[in-house]
Amino acid sequence: MNSKNKIKEIAINTIKEEARTIGQLADYIDDDFAEVVELILESRGRVVVTGIGKSANIANKIVATLNSTGTPSMFMHAADAIHGDLGMIRPDDIIICISKSGNTPEIKVLAPLIKNLGNVLVGMVAGLDSFLAKQSDYVLKAVVDKEACPNNLAPTNSTTAQLVIGDALAVALLECRQFSSQDFAKFHPGGALGKKLYLRVSDLLVKQSAPQVKLNDDIRTVILEISSKRMGAAAVISDENKLSGIITDGDLRRMMQQYEDVKPLKAKDIMSVSPKTIAEDELAINAFHLMEKNSITQLVVCKDGEYLGLVHLHDILKEGIV
* Residue numbers belonging to the annotated binding site for Zn(2+): 77
Nearest to 211 by CA among 271, 133, 116, 300: 300
> How far is Cα 125 from Cα 97, in angstroms, rounded to an integer?
8
Contact (CB, 8 A) for 271 and 233: no
C-alpha span between 93 and 45 (Å, rounded): 4
Distance CA 40, CA 93 (A): 9
Q: Are 54 and 156 in contact (CB under 8 A)?
A: no
Rounded CA-CA distance 247/24 in Å is 59
Pairing of strands 306-312, 212-214: unpaired
Strand partners, 74: 48
279 forms beta bridges with 302
Residues of each annotated binding site: 77
Q: What CA–CA distance (Å, rounded) separates 287 from 103?
A: 54
Query: Which residues lie below 8 Å from residue 95, measured CB to CB, with a gap of 6+?
Result: 48, 49, 50, 76, 89, 114, 119, 120, 121, 122
Which among 103, 105, 97 has a CA at the least distance from the CA of 123?
97
Nearest Cα residue to 210 out of 226, 221, 186, 196:
226
Query: Exposure of 164 by Cβ count < 10 A (0-12 exposed, 13-18 middle, 19+ buried)?
Result: middle
Q: How far is CA 57 from CA 7, 25, 54, 77, 166, in A?
A: 27, 20, 5, 9, 12
